[in-house]
Chains A and B, each alone.
Chain A
Amino acid sequence: MFLRGNKDMKPAFSVIFLTTLLGAGQGLFLALFTHQSYALFGLLPMQSDAFYGYGSVLVLLLLGGGLVASFFHLGRPERAWRSATQWRTSWLSREVIVLPAFMGVVFLYGVAHLIGFRPEVVTLPSGLLIDLSVVLGVLGTLVSFALFVCTGMIYACLRFLREWHTPLTVINYILLGGSSGFILAAFYSASSAPSQTDFFAGWAIIITLLAFVGRSASLVRNAHLKPKSTIQTAIGVKHPRIVQRSQGAMGGSFNTREFFHGKSEAFLRAIKPAFILLVFVIPIALLAFGMFTSALLGVAFILQYTGLLAERWFFFAQANHPQNLYYQTIG
């Protein structure tokens, strides 16, 4: 019995929800603070504290959802606190530290707006007044990007998972999260600050287009990857024709369950155009045509989020783990 044709990582739904929910939350925060920054320089009318405050609540809900999802990935969730200890070497550990830090900053940013506690911190020489919420917003922006880098690097740092081992992985996490968050921000502002919807929808279109370029680049790159490891290097025998005859276990093992998604080639072929349509084409069309209808913006966010789940599934499934060379035939 051969396992060929489905020779790639099995995506874990906990991680798919974790990365997509975090991305949307981070993107939404960036969108809110981008607006506040524009308003600070007088380019847009400053919105009420409630707009930024309740927006931050929405960000926290998304981040909290992601955090809860992440626990489903752990075999021993009660020991999760230990995962903050190896930040010197492990990107996963860094993410574990940066995520709560980001949630903390967003919480303070939201509270500062909601209770109106915005003491002046500094007045710039130009006369621009920087209050506490701006400082927290800048800090949150930095931490948000740090979180994107941590999340992306968890995958990009694994050098022999070559589909992931590229700066495009980090760039796409930033762009896809940004796209998701800005579309959500457009929907949010359509219901709470309709005059600002165009600003968010416009940026959402730009970021979604950039994300399309970035994701396409990684798809093209991955389509042309040649595996570095072969069955010859795996067992160290120099011969063009080597076939596995048994893998040492008839009933499967962790190695066959974790690194094979078990879906057909046809399924893989179908999911790629599906997520391209749902993540990029449909949201851009809905944003372009539906700038003034909040319902359409909500549909755009939900459809794109569904597409992002498919995109993330594909991201995991496309990674071809070298260990699979040892698990080609059951027996």
Chain B
Amino acid sequence: MTQLALVIDLNVCVGCHACVTSCKEWNTSGSAGPLCDENPYGSDPTGTFFNRVQTFEVGQYPNTETVHFPKSCLHCEDPPCVPVCPTGASYKRKQDGIVLVDYDKCIGCKYCSWACPYGAREIDEKQHVMKKCTLCVDRIYDLNLPEIDRKPSCVKACPTSARLFGDIHDPESSVSQAIREEGGYALMPEWGTHPANHYLPRRKTKLKIHEDELERADNPLKVDGLLPKPGKGEPSMEDVSAW
């Protein structure tokens, strides 16, 4: 069983939104038709996106940290949005675990968006169907592309390589290793949705230097300095050593 997924490294994401724009560009140009935009140049622009980068501030000034948080469909292993769909338009692919919407079957009832705790689905207000991240399913299997480009658009765009893509069911894949070795976690584990996408936490890189590494315990100068001075009547070094 394959479960394709993204692993997003919050330690590396700089919040540049390159993944957002490149996702939008790829997915508005596909055979499924454009991702709608309303008033793109007006005062109140809005539209359908598969991917958003949000920003959170953790802590209280001056001890704050800015966390940029890319958010897209997590392709849950137990997706709550799929069984509620009355038409079968929402489905999870057996072969690679991608959760997709069949735009030709969707009736736009929005029930699946109610059933997603992550708010990963956005309706297309012009096509009147529900849309969501496809993991660039029209790209990752495209044999016309060089193999190195058969990755989701967001992954290719990320300038800091904060986005990894692969099969999380393959223990040797880069994503599985990252989850295992870098503390990968799932969002809102309390609902048992088992998101396939994982996040890597912020990791402070700290140089740990122990005091005895700064001052050598066996520093001969220091040892000499610390030794109590022998008394005048005590035998001196010349008396005990034979050199």
Contacts and interface: CB of A to CB of B under 8 A. Distances in A.
Nearest to B66: A245
A330 B173 CA distance: 37
Contacts of B191: 159-160, 228-229, 322
Nearest to A324: B119
A75 interface: yes
A243 B61 CA distance: 12
Given A82-B87, A237-B58, A249-B49, A74 B109 contact: yes
Interface in A210-261: 228-229, 231, 233-237, 239, 241-255, 258-259
Interface residues of A, number: 57
Given A243-B56, A327-B119, A74 B190 contact: no
A77 B107 contact: yes
A75 to B, nearest CB: 2
Interface string B78-101: 001011111111000000000000
Interface stretch (B39-47, B141-149, B164-172, B211-219): B39-47
Contacts of A244: 54-57
B62 interface: no
Given A79-B107, A82-B107, A90-B85, A245 B128 contact: no
A15 to B, nearest CB: 10
B136 interface: no
B2 to A, nearest CB: 23
A306 interface: no
Interface string B117-130: 11101110101110
Contact of A258 (B47, B69, B113): B113
A75 B128 contact: yes
Nearest to B192: A159
B14 interface: no
A92 interface: yes
A240 to B, nearest CB: 9
Nearest to B39: A251
Interface string A65-81: 00000000111110110
Interface stretch (B25-33, B181-189, B224-232, B235-243): B181-189
Contacts of B69: 235
B60 interface: yes
Interface string B177-217: 00000000111111100000001011000000000000000
A79 B118 contact: no
Given A79-B87, A323-B117, A237 B110 contact: no
A73 B117 contact: no
A315 to B, nearest CB: 13
Nearest to A228: B190
Contacts of B66: 245
Interface of A: 9, 73-77, 79-80, 82-86, 89-93, 96, 154, 157-161, 228-229, 231, 233-237, 239, 241-255, 258-259, 321-324, 326-327
